[in-house]
Structure 1
Amino acid sequence: MMMKLEKKILNSFNELIGHLSDSEGRNALKGMQRGIEREALRINSSGHLAIDGHPKVLGSALTHPRITTDYSESLLEFITPVFSDINSLLDDLTYTHAFTVQNLDSQRLWPVSMPCYVGDTAAIPIADYGSSNAGQMKRLYRKGLTYRYGAQMQIISGVHFNFSVSDTLWDKLYNLSDTQVSKSDFISESYLGLIRNYRHMVWVLPYLFGASPALCSSFIKDQQTDIEFEKMGKGTLYLPYATSLRMSDLGYTNKEQEQLDISYDSLEQYLEGMNSAINMPSANFEKIGVKVDGEFRQLNANVLQIENEFYSPIRAKRVALDDEKPSEALARAGIEYIEVRALDVNPYSPVGIDASQIRFLDLFLMYCLLNESPTSDSVQENEISNNLNRVVLEGRRPGLELSRNGESVLLSTWMREMFDELKPLASLLDNEGEHLYIDALDRWQSAVIDPDLTISGQIMKELNGSQVDHGCWVKKLAEEYHDILSRYSLPEEVLLQYQQAASRSLEKQTKIESESTQNFEEYLADYFNDDSVSFETPKVVSSV
């Protein structure tokens, strides 16, 4: 937490956990809220990218609350509501997968993060959101991503995990803090503390959950890379100790963003940094042109076209009002939850994530929240970046050392220390007679002792054992999950809800398009007319 706990107030993670160990504190801890966003490519029977339009039976990608698209028409995104119960969360995510698969005809979902065989990148279809100004802007933003980074980078899939703690816990932590700021400011500052600690420890997630140690060589094509890959089978590239190539320079990175100075020391500094970023010109992106020969290529030539382009492994979030930008929502009412963006799709789950991962994320994020969170200087920022890069490229290497406060430490030693601290918290989160959190902790601690038990380790063990190409292995999984989800029996009322949601979303898109009469260039001009962040009266504009 950012606030320093003073006087008799607690000043260490262990002391704070001790203070929350009564029944009231345990219930407050257990009131966590979670949501999941899972991305998945549609593939055809040959295992290649499906290039047809978003299926109408699934509804409108512009307006559907649960089934949409990300960069491409082929890249589905499934969004759950918020749940306090993990089983209910996974049930809901399974419903969405099952409904989708049962309406894809012969197509399947690609169950890993790195894409299937990539042929002509020009054939990768950019998502189409219709003729409304809002829809055109969403499409143009994605077109800009194509010009900036290439289409293949945009069809990488991931899982985003949204997390918040209970109001009851905030009340207890606020009373313990002895702070003079308002409760709302305390919550924002505490979430920023979580983010700072998370950024120092984010390498833990690709180590345990990274699931992209190998990829199809077609993904590289003409890209220049310093990564010295080894080759397997007919076309699989891999690194023997890699965990998450998705998180490497091949994946969601933006060299232009390295010049940004986004501070997490306070909400005001964070918003000011974001405002500067979306108004900072880029010489490289200027060369692309914004409008060339009468056709738009990107929204603008700034380092970030919009806030969504900021590639960070974690984001501060608040549910926005209609037509409100993310930063405006934060400026209006502070941070409401955080979004973890460092998760690969888990190929050993039909829905891309499992319960043991979620329970570990609960523990890890609570650990980041309840620990003191010092600010970072440029030296520590480099340390954060270097540690993450080492883990994504060689995290399972025996004897791997990272840097902690300028001193070398074995990755295994650092993780064992963290797991030891998490055990009392796991005990508090388990209900009487249960040991689900303890079991999850034990399951992932075993992967610290034996790196082959990490998800990436399991994948490489299978690939090395069979010497089958990565794409063939994934395609087989896709078939297995397609069979499972095709046979999944959706409750009648659930099926009706999805059918009605699809129908309503199409009607809503039609209505938006009929009411969209403003010239598109004027619409864009209005959108970017004032990107300054006000802490009092945010400007209302369309979100992308």
Structure 2
Amino acid sequence: MQQHLKTLSGNGSGALLREIHRGIEKESLRISPEGRIAQTPHPAALGSALTHSSITTDYSEALLEFITPVDTDLEGSLRTLADIHRHVYSQLNDEILWSASMPCVVAGDDSIPVAQYGSSNVAHMKTVYRYGLGHRYGRAMQVISGIHYNFSMPHAYWEQDWREAGSPGGLKDWITGRYLALIRNFHRYSWLLIYLFGASPALCASFLRDRDTHGLEKFDPEGKTLYLPYATALRMGDLGYNSAAQRDLQVCYNSLDNYVGALRKGIMQPRSEYSHIPSGQDGDYQQLNDSLLQIENEFYSTIRPKRVAYSGETPLSALRRGGIEYVEVRCIDVSPFNPIGLDAEQVRFLDSFLLFCLLSDSPACDEAERDHQQANLRLVVNRGREPGLQLSSRQGERKLTDWASDLLQQIDLVAGALDDAHHSDAYRQSVAAQQAKVDDPELTPSARVLREMRERDLPYFRLALAYSQQWAQYFREEPLAADAQARFEQEREESLAAQRDIEANDDISFEQYLQRFYAQYQAV
């Protein structure tokens, strides 16, 4: 890693570190003033959820997703995300955005309206996919919010990296192999992100309505809030984005062939436990198919290899065509303590962490190591702040705090190179702030959530609602500039026109559309 940093920092190459590409996707539930999931349709004033580039929906009509364009300006990305919030608030009337990952009061699956995208084939496919998720895992799991962080290195970096390695093979394959190495290291060390930024140690008891095997404790005598005393991010555990059935899917990141092959198998092979859910019989589509995975996106992972796909192209086909273009980090909780859910300090640390994962040695992974990684993740999700907690490393059992401090020392070297490139000390400061959380677990967001609940004598729902109301007022008191509002209004009209064009140009049945879509998997 130090040799990579020396090369990056020399010969003027530090400029490449100023060209890291990033994009942010942030989910937020629309809620009523009383804190219930909004039952209203996606506001027409926000444009088309199918075609709008920065405002769409995820699982539910009420689950908004805000997307920033790819940018090299960290502060600019955060300003863009804040502007999206301001614009949305200008159109929400009395509704507000839920400011935490675990949802507000959930009154059963019927209280969660599935997202609708219009009458086109692609819109129908998106909605049917969501119906399938609801039947398989329940709708409540699908309205957990998170932040996805997209990261890539500039092409000039890859060209230099490839040449210095002796130009082995093709550049495309070199880039893919290096991103896979990053992903393998990410899986080794992602527990650190869960510890540092997890903000979901508790949840509203309504989320687990009629479930009594969750293993959580009552936070209050009435049982309105359930929690674990040392939990960090319940969103990332068995109660959140997790699938017992998918544990049979042995996804390997040692090569693109391994990854594509495993997901293709999951999509193509029927699964008996899903056979009772209609998938086209007599025109009844309650899921896209009865396989383990309807499409690639159903595979839950803390990080994904990605490439921008052509219209109608499957994600696996895109990866096979062009290799890995960027990675999508998916394990970041929405912080209730920030108006947009994260801040610049966190983003700087994410850049430092991901660059560390890229530059460090990354041996091939086997099944035994994957089991250790999953066990570490579960431990930190449920018990991350527990004094003396031990994790499994390649060197044997290690205390979380010792291992975290060793990792942060190495990440600090990367942060120093980023600071040199940016003529700042902000990256190393971000690492120092994380070391403080390791030294004192009370500084973590998860500890702060529980502490404020106790100090303010509030259940989880009331605390999160109070922050949601605070940030609603914050954005409504600082409206968008007129020119920015005009740009959003123009994009609204363009997105609605684009949706109409898609609907007007459909010339095949939905059954034919799905046949053509799934035929692509035969070729990957």
Question: TM-score normalized by structure 2?
Answer: 0.97
Q: 1:433 to 1:331 in 2, by over 3 A?
A: closer
User: Of 480, 484, 491, which aligns to 1:490?
Assistant: 480
User: Of 472, 485, 494, which aligns to 1:504?
Assistant: 494
Once residues 409 and 194 of structure 2 are traced to their aligned partners in structure 1, the CA distance between those partners, rounded to angstroms, is 20
| Letter of the 1:283 counterpart | S
User: Of 98, 123, 130, which aligns to 2:111?
Assistant: 123
Match of 1:114 in 2: 102
Q: 1:171 to 1:514 in 2, by over 3 A?
A: closer
1:443 counterpart = 2:433: yes
How do 1:286-301 residues align onto structure 2 when only pairs under 5 Å count?
286-291=275-280, 294-301=283-290
Mean alpha-carbon deviation: is it higher for 304-313 or for 458-467?
Answer: 458-467
* Offset, 1:276: 1.1
Once residues 395 and 375 of structure 2 are traced to their aligned partners in structure 1, the CA distance between those partners, rounded to angstroms, is 12
Once residues 233 and 55 of structure 1 are traced to their aligned partners in structure 2, the CA distance between those partners, rounded to angstroms, is 39
* Offset, 1:474: 0.8
| Letter of the 1:428 counterpart | A
Q: Residues 427-482 of structure 1, C-alpha deviation per residue, up to 9 Å, x if partnerless?
A: 22115752111111111110010111111111111112222111111111111100
User: Of 333, 347, 351, which aligns to 1:358?
Assistant: 347
Instruction: Report SS of the residue matched to 1:287.
Output: coil
* Offset, 1:232: 2.1
Match of 1:9 in 2: none
1:96 counterpart = 2:99: no
Contact residue 213 and residue 242 of structure 1 kept, 8 A? yes
Mean alpha-carbon deviation: is it higher for 174-183 or for 237-246?
Answer: 174-183
User: Of 356, 373, 384, which aligns to 2:362?
Assistant: 373
Match of 1:147 in 2: 135
Match of 2:303 in 1: 314
Match of 2:2 in 1: 14
* Offset, 1:175: 2.5
Instruction: Report SS of the residue matched to 1:163.
Output: strand
Contact residue 245 and residue 292 of structure 2 kept, 8 A? yes
* Offset, 1:168: 2.6
Match of 2:271 in 1: 282
Q: 1:186 to 1:224 in 2, by over 3 A?
A: farther
Once residues 220 and 353 of structure 2 are traced to their aligned partners in structure 1, the CA distance between those partners, rounded to angstroms, is 35
Unaligned runs of 5+ in 1: 1-12, 535-544
Match of 2:241 in 1: 252
Match of 1:10 in 2: none
Q: 1:34 to 1:240 in 2, by over 3 A?
A: same
Unaligned runs of 5+ in 2: none
Match of 1:225 in 2: 213
Once residues 138 and 110 of structure 2 are traced to their aligned partners in structure 1, the CA distance between those partners, rounded to angstroms, is 9
Q: Residues 333-360 of structure 1, C-alpha deviation per residue, up to 9 Å, x if partnerless?
A: 1111000001111111111111111000
Once residues 317 and 393 of structure 1 are traced to their aligned partners in structure 2, the CA distance between those partners, rounded to angstroms, is 29
Q: Residues 377-422 of structure 1, C-alpha deviation per residue, up to 9 Å, x if partnerless?
A: 1111110000000000000001111000261100011111111112
Match of 2:294 in 1: 305
Q: 1:19 to 1:517 in 2, by over 3 A?
A: closer
| Letter of the 1:484 counterpart | Y
Instruction: Report SS of the residue matched to 1:316.
Output: strand
Match of 2:20 in 1: 32
User: Of 163, 166, 187, which aligns to 1:178?
Assistant: 166
* Offset, 1:370: 0.4
Once residues 363 and 237 of structure 1 are traced to their aligned partners in structure 2, the CA distance between those partners, rounded to angstroms, is 34
Query: What is the Cα-based RMSD across aligned positions, in Å?
Result: 1.5
Once residues 416 and 180 of structure 2 are traced to their aligned partners in structure 1, the CA distance between those partners, rounded to angstroms, is 26
Match of 1:161 in 2: 149
Match of 1:75 in 2: 63
Match of 1:57 in 2: 45
Once residues 89 and 113 of structure 1 are traced to their aligned partners in structure 2, the CA distance between those partners, rounded to angstroms, is 21
Contact residue 8 and residue 14 of structure 2 kept, 8 A? yes
| Letter of the 1:308 counterpart | N
Match of 1:414 in 2: 403
| Letter of the 2:182 counterpart | L
Match of 1:201 in 2: 189
* Offset, 1:256: 1.4
Once residues 260 and 179 of structure 1 are traced to their aligned partners in structure 2, the CA distance between those partners, rounded to angstroms, is 34
How do 1:322-471 residues align onto structure 2 when only pairs under 5 Å count?
322-405=311-394, 407-431=396-420, 434-471=424-461
* Offset, 1:67: 0.4
Contact residue 121 and residue 506 of structure 2 kept, 8 A? yes
Contact residue 213 and residue 238 of structure 1 kept, 8 A? yes
| Letter of the 1:427 counterpart | G
Once residues 198 and 100 of structure 1 are traced to their aligned partners in structure 2, the CA distance between those partners, rounded to angstroms, is 34
Mean alpha-carbon deviation: is it higher for 126-135 or for 179-188?
Answer: 179-188
Instruction: Report SS of the residue matched to 2:219.
Output: strand
Once residues 72 and 226 of structure 2 are traced to their aligned partners in structure 1, the CA distance between those partners, rounded to angstroms, is 40
Once residues 325 and 529 of structure 1 are traced to their aligned partners in structure 2, the CA distance between those partners, rounded to angstroms, is 10
- The aligned length equals 522
| Letter of the 1:77 counterpart | E
| Letter of the 1:499 counterpart | E
Contact residue 66 and residue 81 of structure 2 kept, 8 A? yes
Q: How many percent of aligned residue pairs carry the same amino acid? A: 41
Question: TM-score normalized by structure 1?
Answer: 0.93
* Offset, 1:143: 0.5
